[in-house]
């Protein structure tokens, strides 16, 4: 039997490990907690076994992980957080340097080989910032928080006034128009309503798309400046009680952040596609030639200040869906009001500091399992990113302790504390570009955690090859709130969110006389917005991004501080403990498995299913439109390539499972050839780069060109449908098929 | 050719009537306006011809309608409105009697045979009303509006304090829980959260379900009293600028209304199923035995007053979707606050006054086309219902004028000005019950207009047999805002709302190897909430309900007055003109057509499609649940019956069309036999009455048991799926099939 199937009904009453002792050798005593695998909804089969490990090595692996997990301590996590968030630490500032040294010292103390990697990058700090309502009543608007009693950090004056990373300097005065979320359709709608946009100032709300694209869209629509405010409908009182009572955004909290045009390429905009500080031929562009930076000034505001402008707008009522949470009817403007923005940015090439630490592998020191989290923050970064940093440090500590029992991982584990993420994924991108050859040859996987804990909902997006590994780890980690395997919590939510879609798809399959499928938990695809981007999109390294999610109303404000996490978000640090455990188990299994736990059957199935879904969307957007709007290109060759990848991956997975279980002999050289093939497969999915943004090379995963954060899988086809561009769609089929065929050819080399 | 097909492409550039003179004999000169039938989206075919009329009589009919339409005058409409809304006219009050006499006098003056029909019914008026926040800070809450400057009516003190029709008296004090819209799921969710409901006071918001069911649900959940308030998210500032600037609900506006359990049966609750005042065996029940009335007190409040309670609630945050538009985070309670409600109702048997007027038919005076609108209002009723009343009076005037040119309709037209609608459709229900035998023998159709104009979106729900008639009339009436046929406006909106569903359904059909269908405009089914209920649900008379819809934020408040309509909603009375024209053309065609324009092919197709949709919903709600939750009953016999109805109807329609076009001879006796069959068909769809509410007898149409307003078509099956009751589902198949077979048998008699 290739994989053990544990009947859900049996698993109800007993710890799953003990439920069927003959079928499953995992010993309940060795299991880190008495997690009861609950019956899954529907016919969902819980994961069994441990992908990539021989059945007779499960117990030892679980025992080792259990020792690791029992060593994770809330007090260490809390102490790290207090120390990391004492000062604001914007990239390149002395506060930031101090956190780099703290992380360096801790990692070295935990037995890792850590060093600081300094990289020179273009950064801006605010020189002076003025926003004022010159009509009707004048007076400057507040560009920083006032702080709350009982939270000393929130009253510290050492934090910059609110500004936008990579924002432009400028001095503009104009009437204001309200443009909802500021996406492409929003500005088009205003133009369609006959609202004159040229030379005016856009007031847009945060949410839906990455903030840099709001500024890009405004600039392209002819506006002279942009104010981005946080509407209470999106992360304020309409979502939860504001801090300090709850996790909602307070009236005066400002969301800082970068306004780079992220979906067109991350990293230092003056070194696009090559490493900053690389020297030699890799000269830095003059700032004026850098792409992906706004030319019109922008500024973030709190809703308390923005409402003074919004309430004064006249003109037509805002269209359906544009109304936010403030207690009056929104109008699109303009009105009697005029705003004056005067913003001076201080741009310079400044150093940032990645901290890179290695725990060298025993058998394959050159092979790397990468764990990454950024360290720089717009203010204190207690959630974003240092809730992740403390988990990383705690992971390093418990793994270090494990080495003192004699254990060493088979492959190297590399911890990356990135700097400059907030400006545009600078530290990870420049490092990835600088080490591209080594990474493409030797990286096994990249496991990213940014803001680790803002709530209790576990969410993971990633390369689909990692799906089984992720599910098996979730099975083995306790949900500290519901005291059951995280797998149950995650699957229950997936079921309640995905059930009707699944039923609908099965109905379609039935009517097509295809086989119906059981409900399965799947991961979402990666878009962008954190440091996995260079690894998955540029280097083709299987990547994961994880968090415990909740409302993060203090996001990028001065209130993202120690008190918020310590008193409101995770007082017992139990969610942080769980994240540390998930992350470390993933790393241990990737580093110690005999066969790499990468399952490209899932990747192939995902690609195939996504093609069917895209075909339907293409049909829908073209329905009732003229023939020229119809998507006529057939996806046949790409579907065949996906089928080939699936079959080849399945054959290799079966061969590996049989060898692991002793049903078959290993090929000469053991698992090495299989692992080489598995490591090369994701790289095979890289192509020549997407149209208009060649830095993005993955043919299955990319952020949407107009979303920034959110993924548009199979980006050539997916983006073409969004853009209603049948010709781009037709051009996209070939490269997609080629990539899938390349990946299949790589996996077919696995002997 | 049975029906003329006019190519959409040809219709672009020219008035449609002139586009293809040989194919279509409708003369552009005779058409009431130079309406340009625009190209429809997709492959939608615009309606042609005039169902039930011989091709050589189209022109004469259009010319007559044109004379009618040109006579409709905004100044008459406006004068009627000013006079009808001078005083508040709650059912049974002197103000109400005055409007009855005004309508009577006008109708007689216009040449109709009008009389007042007095009916004694149970009514309550408020004797005394007190709601106060006794903790934390005390003080009574306002139970009436304060009025606005410049609107004298809104400051008139002759309006009752806010109260609920058929509300209970009571004196209760208790802690408050917030229960969202107060539907069955909302109270279940609170119980699931561990909130103690017994003896407490529910604060619920208006919307989603009929208000009486909110009180019913609270009562069943053990609460002691109910406050229903208008949240600004639903009809206040979050939807539009509040009156007097716009159509949003002001801070102090209270929605009065009935709290009868409408979905269990309308009409006087002390004479359920028989006419009030009928005498003899039909004794009135004592009030204590009446069903469908609340036993716990309830009161409506404005959001300005309700926020004082809501803001003081503690306990868990309100679940997702429960947050309204007020600027703080909603909690479910309880909290420190306590509310005291002391409500005394003055119940008595009081007279109400229907006005019934007849324009007698030339050939078939016994056959009746009924036009209905209610006249009673909670305050001034400028929109609800007198925007409809003025259209009805104007229709009566122009039809009366037409008789002076020598015209008389082939069948009788009956105008019904109902009283007591607001309490529970009293006037229409009691009159319908009292005249059941005559109506079931002789009523052709019932055309209802309640609030005729609260905006610009034409909406019609109705018996599907009337679909072609409705579409053809929309083609011939101008949209006064867009200056094109109303048909185009209605179809464009239907297309934008229904396009993706249509594409999805066609995909399903394709994969099932069924024929794909062109997009079609269809009417929604009738639920309840206005006077069509007795006609369609109890008597089986094909019915329509129409309005021009928009946000009606002043609904049932003191601001539903002359100034609101005259200055804000429809200053030129152009929408009222259009409604008058639509309504009158419908009546004229139903009254004058040679063959009745009832097309039961549409009814059968609707029933069949709805069965498929219900099967899918049944599958979805059962997916992943235990076998006992699965809906296993097969709908085969009901589908066969629908197919039989469709085939029989098609055969009759073809025979009639051939005879009308001179391609075939009429049967002996002309169209009379066909018309008798068409009139009997809808009656065939009546069954023995629905489970638990036998007054509702239509097997295709009914309001949802837990919605009140919204329809649940094929109610036995549809309600069973909503209730997750596979046994009720299985019981429902037989009666549905029998009804469809009865209807088919009736239509098969048409010779």
Residues A157-204 have pLDDT tens digits of 889 999 999 999 999 999 999 999 999 999 999 999 999 999 999 999
Tell me, yes or no, if B41 comes closer than 8 A to chain A by beta carbon: yes
Query: Which of the listed residues A305, A333, A348 is the one where a domain comes to its end?
Result: A348
Structure tokens at A514: 């295809």
- Looking at chain A, which residue has its C-alpha nearest residue B496? A624
Percent of chain A scored above 70 by pLDDT?
Answer: 95
Residue A56 covered by a domain: no
Mean pLDDT, chain A, rounded, equals 92
pLDDT in tens, A675-721: 999 999 999 999 999 999 999 999 999 999 998 889 999 999 999 99
Nearest-angstrom CA–CA distance, A479 and A600: 28
Tell me, yes or no, if A9 comes closer than 8 A to chain B by beta carbon: no
ipTM of the modeled complex = 0.91
What is the distance in angstroms between the Cα of A638 and the nearest Cα belonging to chain B?
21
Region for residue B15 given its phi and psi (left: phi exceeds 0; alpha: psi -120 to 50; beta: otherwise): beta
Contact A240 B329 (CB under 8 A): yes
Does the pLDDT of residue A12 top 50, yes or no? no
- Looking at chain B, which residue has its C-alpha nearest residue A320? B239
Nearest-angstrom CA–CA distance, B18 and B25: 9
A627 and A695 inside one domain = yes
Contact A619 B511 (CB under 8 A): no
Which of B238, B304, B620 to probe the A interface (max A CBs under 10 A)?
A: B238
Contact B519 A624 (CB under 8 A): yes
Q: Which of B240, B328, B495 sits opposite A329 (nearest CB)?
A: B240
Residue A545's beta-bridge partner residues?
A448, A461
B45 and B137 inside one domain = no
pLDDT in tens, B301-311: 999 999 999 99
What is the distance in angstroms between the Cα of A49 and the nearest Cα belonging to chain B?
25
What is the distance in angstroms between the Cα of B510 and the nearest Cα belonging to chain A?
9
Which of A668, A685, A661 is CA-nearest to residue A736? A685
Contact B507 A503 (CB under 8 A): no
Tell me, yes or no, if B499 comes closer than 8 A to chain A by beta carbon: yes
In what helix (H) or strand (E) does residue A461 lie, and over which residues does it extend? Answer: strand A457-462
Tell me, yes or no, if A496 comes closer than 8 A to chain B by beta carbon: no
Contact A329 B248 (CB under 8 A): yes
Q: In B302-337, where do the E strands start and end? A: none
Residues contacting B169, CB < 8 A, separation 6+: B297, B343, B344, B345
How much is the pTM?
A: 0.92
pLDDT bucket at A10, cuts 50 / 70 / 90:
very low
B630 and B723 inside one domain = yes
A298 and A431 inside one domain = no
Structure tokens at A588: 């241990």
Contact A237 B327 (CB under 8 A): yes
pLDDT of residue A216: 97
A427 and A475 inside one domain = no
Q: Give the CA distances from residue B56 to residues B46, B52, B83, B597, in Å, rounded to whole numbers and listed in that order.
A: 20, 12, 43, 17
B344 and B398 inside one domain = no
B132 and B115 inside one domain = no
Query: Is A210 in contact with A513 (CB distance < 8 Å)?
Result: no
What is the distance in angstroms between the Cα of A610 and the nearest Cα belonging to chain B?
17
* Residue corresponding to tokens 């679940």: B319
B74 and B27 inside one domain = no
Q: Give the CA distances from residue B358 to residues A191, B374, B525, in Å, rounded to whole numbers and listed in that order.
A: 53, 16, 28
What is the distance in angstroms between the Cα of B721 and the nearest Cα belonging to chain A?
15
Top-confidence residue, A562 or A2: A562
Cβ pairs bridging A and B (under 8 Å):
82
Radius of gyration of chain A (CA): 26
Which of A521, A624, A626 to probe the B interface (max B CBs under 10 A)?
A: A624
Structural domain range at position B241:
122-348
What is the distance in angstroms between the Cα of B29 and the nearest Cα belonging to chain A?
33
Residue A121's beta-bridge partner residues?
A350
Query: Residue A43: how many CB atoms within 10 A of its CB?
Result: 10
Contact B508 A507 (CB under 8 A): yes
What is the longest distance spanned by two Cα atoms in chain A? 83
Residues contacting B109, CB < 8 A, separation 6+: none
Chain A residues inside the 8 Å CB shell of B499 = 620, 623-624
pLDDT bucket at A514, cuts 50 / 70 / 90:
confident
Tell me, yes or no, if B503 comes closer than 8 A to chain A by beta carbon: yes
Residue A370 covered by a domain: yes
Chain A residues inside the 8 Å CB shell of B328 = 237
Query: Is B535 in contact with B353 (CB distance < 8 Å)?
Result: no
What is the longest distance spanned by two Cα atoms in chain B? 83
Residue A76 covered by a domain: yes
A337 and A367 inside one domain = no
Q: Chain centroid to CA B624: how far?
A: 37
pLDDT of residue A29: 46
Radius of gyration of chain B (CA): 26
What is the distance in angstroms between the Cα of B309 and the nearest Cα belonging to chain A?
17
CATH number of the structural domain spanning residue A378: 3.40.630.10
B583 and B635 inside one domain = no
Least confident of A135-139, A262-266, B669-673: A135-139
Does the pLDDT of residue A407 top 50, yes or no? yes
- Looking at chain A, which residue has its C-alpha nearest residue B619? A503
Q: Chain centroid to CA B594: how far?
A: 28
Nearest-angstrom CA–CA distance, B751 and B744: 14
Task: Print burial letters for A249-288: b (CB count within 10 Å at least 16), e (below 16).
Answer: bbbbbbbbbbbbbbbbbbbbbbbbebbbbeeeeeebeeee
Which of B728, B741, B749, B565 is CA-nearest to residue B674? B749
pLDDT bucket at A23, cuts 50 / 70 / 90:
very low
Catalytic residues of A: 421
pLDDT of residue A138: 75
Tell me, yes or no, if A507 comes closer than 8 A to chain B by beta carbon: yes
Count how many domains chain B has.
4
Which of B242, B317, B497, B624 to probe the A interface (max A CBs under 10 A)?
A: B624
pLDDT in tens, A409-423: 999 999 999 999 999
Instruction: Write down the catalytic residue from B219, B421, B433, B738.
Output: B421
Residue B49 covered by a domain: yes
B619 and B632 inside one domain = yes
Nearest-angstrom CA–CA distance, B723 and B621: 10
Residue ranges of A 607-646 with Cβ closer than 8 A to chain B:
616, 619-620, 623-624
| Range B284-293 contact pairs with CB under 8 angstroms and sequence separation of 24 or more | B284/B349, B287/B122, B287/B347, B290/B122, B291/B261, B291/B264, B291/B265, B292/B212, B292/B260, B292/B261, B292/B262, B292/B264, B292/B265, B293/B166, B293/B168, B293/B260, B293/B261, B293/B269
| CA dihedral for A312, A313, A317, A318, sign (positive or negative) | negative
Chain B residues inside the 8 Å CB shell of A327 = 232, 237, 325-327
CA geometry: angle at A37 spanning A32 and A43, to 5°? 150
B408 and B470 inside one domain = yes
- Looking at chain A, which residue has its C-alpha nearest residue B239? A329
CATH number of the structural domain spanning residue A650: 1.20.930.40
CATH number of the structural domain spanning residue B212: 3.50.30.30
Which of A696, A323, A669, A289 is CA-nearest to residue A532? A696
Query: Which of the listed residues B42, B60, B78 is the one where a domain comes to its end?
Result: B60
> Mean pLDDT in runs of 10 for chain B (751 residues)?
28 30 39 62 83 94 95 98 97 98 98 98 97 87 94 90 97 98 97 97 97 97 98 98 98 98 93 86 88 96 97 96 98 93 97 98 98 98 98 98 96 98 98 97 98 98 98 96 94 90 85 86 94 98 98 98 98 98 98 98 97 93 83 96 98 96 92 96 98 97 92 97 96 98 97 75
What is the distance in angstroms between the Cα of B379 and the nearest Cα belonging to chain A?
26
Which of A720, A746, A743 is CA-nearest to residue A733? A720
Chain B residues inside the 8 Å CB shell of A240 = 317, 329
Residue B216 covered by a domain: yes
Residue A557 covered by a domain: no
Structure tokens at A58: 């499960």
Q: What are phi and psi of A290, to 5 degrees?
A: -65, 140
Pairing of strands B201-205, B225-229: parallel
Top-confidence residue, A505 or A736: A736
pLDDT bucket at A27, cuts 50 / 70 / 90:
very low
**Helix, strand or coil for residue B44?**
coil
What is the distance in angstroms between the Cα of B517 and the nearest Cα belonging to chain A?
13
Residue A707 covered by a domain: yes
Q: What are phi and psi of A703, to 5 degrees?
A: -75, 150
Q: What is the DSSP secondary structure assignment for residue A343, as one 8-state letter?
A: E
Chain A residues inside the 8 Å CB shell of B630 = none
Residue ranges of B 105-144 with Cβ closer than 8 A to chain A:
none
Tell me, yes or no, if A275 comes closer than 8 A to chain B by beta carbon: no
Q: Which of A248, A512, A616 sits opposite B329 (nearest CB)?
A: A248
Query: Residue B598: how many CB atoms within 10 A of its CB?
Result: 31
Tell me, yes or no, if A321 comes closer than 8 A to chain B by beta carbon: no
pLDDT bucket at A78, cuts 50 / 70 / 90:
very high
Chain B residues inside the 8 Å CB shell of A616 = 507
Contact B503 A326 (CB under 8 A): no
Structure tokens at A75: 């007090």
Residue A375 covered by a domain: yes
Q: Give the CA distances from residue A568 to residues A245, A386, B748, in Å, rounded to whole numbers and listed in that order.
A: 8, 16, 73
Which of B653, B631, B577, B643 is CA-nearest to residue B606? B643
Q: Is B421 a catalytic residue?
A: yes
Tell me, yes or no, if B501 comes closer than 8 A to chain A by beta carbon: no
């Amino acid at each position: 039997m290739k994989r053990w199937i544990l009947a859900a009904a049996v698993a109800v009453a007993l710890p799953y490990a003990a439920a069927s002792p003959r079928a499953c050798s995992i010993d309940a005593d060795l299991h880190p907690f008495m997690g009861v695998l609950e019956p899954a909804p529907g016919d969902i089969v819980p994961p069994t076994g441990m992908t990539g490990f021989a059945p007779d090595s499960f117990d030892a692996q679980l025992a080792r992980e259990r020792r690791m997990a029992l060593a994770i301590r809330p007090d260490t996590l809390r102490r790290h957080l207090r120390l990391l968030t004492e000062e604001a630490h914007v990239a390149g500032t002395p506060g930031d340097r101090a956190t780099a040294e703290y992380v360096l010292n801790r990692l070295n103390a935990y037995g890792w080989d850590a060093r600081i990697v300094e990289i020179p990058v273009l950064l801006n700090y605010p020189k002076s910032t003025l926003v004022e309502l010159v009509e009707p009543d004048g007076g400057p608007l507040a560009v920083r928080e006032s702080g709350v009693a009982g939270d000393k950090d929130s009253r510290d004056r050492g934090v910059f006034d609110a500004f936008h990373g990579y924002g432009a300097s400028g001095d503009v005065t104009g009437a204001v128009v309200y443009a909802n979320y500021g996406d492409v359709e929003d500005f088009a709608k205003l133009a369609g309503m006959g609202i004159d946009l040229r030379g005016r100032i856009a007031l847009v709300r945060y949410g839906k798309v990455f903030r840099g694209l709001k500024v890009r869209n405004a600039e392209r629509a002819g506006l002279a400046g942009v104010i981005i405010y946080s509407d209470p409908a999106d992360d304020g009182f309409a979502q939860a009680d504001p801090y300090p009572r709850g996790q909602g955004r307070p009236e005066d909290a400002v969301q800082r952040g970068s306004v780079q045009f992220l979906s067109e390429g991350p990293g230092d905009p003056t070194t696009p596609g090559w490493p900053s500080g690389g020297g030699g031929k890799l000269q830095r562009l003059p700032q004026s030639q850098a792409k992906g930076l706004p030319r019109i000034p922008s500024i973030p505001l709190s809703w308390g200040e923005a409402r003074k402008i919004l309430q004064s707008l006249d003109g037509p009522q805002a269209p359906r869906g544009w109304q936010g949470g403030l207690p009056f009817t929104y109008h699109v403007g303009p009105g009697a009001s005029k705003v004056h923005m005067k913003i001076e940015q201080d741009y310079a090439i400044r150093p940032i500091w990645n901290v890179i630490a290695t725990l060298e592998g025993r058998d394959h020191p050159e092979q790397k399992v990468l764990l990454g989290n950024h360290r720089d923050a717009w203010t204190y970064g207690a959630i974003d990113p240092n809730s992740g940093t403390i988990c990383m440090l705690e992971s390093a500590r418990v793994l270090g302790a494990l080495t003192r029992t004699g254990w060493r991982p088979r492959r190297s584990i590399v911890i990356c504390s990135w700097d400059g993420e907030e400006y545009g994924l600078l530290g990870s991108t420049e490092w990835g570009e600088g080490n591209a050859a080594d990474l493409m040859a030797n990286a096994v996987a990249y496991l990213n955690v940014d803001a680790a804990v803002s709530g209790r909902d576990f969410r993971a997006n990633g390369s689909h090859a990692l799906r089984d590994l992720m599910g098996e780890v979730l099975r083995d980690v306790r949900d500290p709130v519901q005291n059951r395997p995280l797998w149950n919590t995650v699957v229950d939510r997936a079921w309640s969110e995905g059930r009707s879609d699944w039923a609908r798809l099965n109905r379609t399959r039935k009517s097509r006389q295809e086989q119906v499928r059981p409900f399965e938990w799947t991961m979402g695809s990666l878009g962008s917005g954190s440091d996995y981007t260079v690894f998955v999109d540029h280097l083709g390294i299987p990547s994961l991004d994880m968090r415990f999610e909740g409302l993060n109303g203090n996001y990028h404000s001065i209130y993202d501080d120690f008190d918020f996490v310590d008193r409101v978000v995770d007082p017992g640090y139990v969610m942080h403990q769980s994240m540390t455990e998930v992350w470390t188990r993933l790393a241990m299994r990737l580093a110690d498995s005999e066969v790499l736990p990468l399952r490209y059957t899932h990747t192939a199935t995902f690609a195939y299913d996504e093609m069917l879904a895209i075909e339907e969307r293409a049909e829908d957007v073209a329905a009732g439109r003229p023939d020229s709007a119809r998507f006529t290109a057939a996806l046949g060759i790409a579907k065949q390539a996906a089928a080939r990848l699936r079959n080849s991956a399945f054959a290799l997975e079966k061969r590996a499972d049989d060898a692991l279980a002793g049903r078959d002999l290993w090929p000469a050289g053991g698992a090495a050839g299989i692992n080489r093939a598995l490591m090369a497969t994701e790289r095979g999915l890289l192509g020549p780069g997407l149209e208009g943004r060649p830095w993005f090379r993955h043919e299955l995963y990319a952020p949407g060109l107009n979303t920034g954060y959110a993924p548009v899988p199979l980006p050539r086809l997916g983006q073409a449908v969004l853009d209603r561009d049948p010709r781009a769609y037709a051009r996209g089929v070939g490269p997609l098929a080629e990539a899938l065929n390349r990946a299949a050819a790589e996996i077919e080399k696995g002997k």
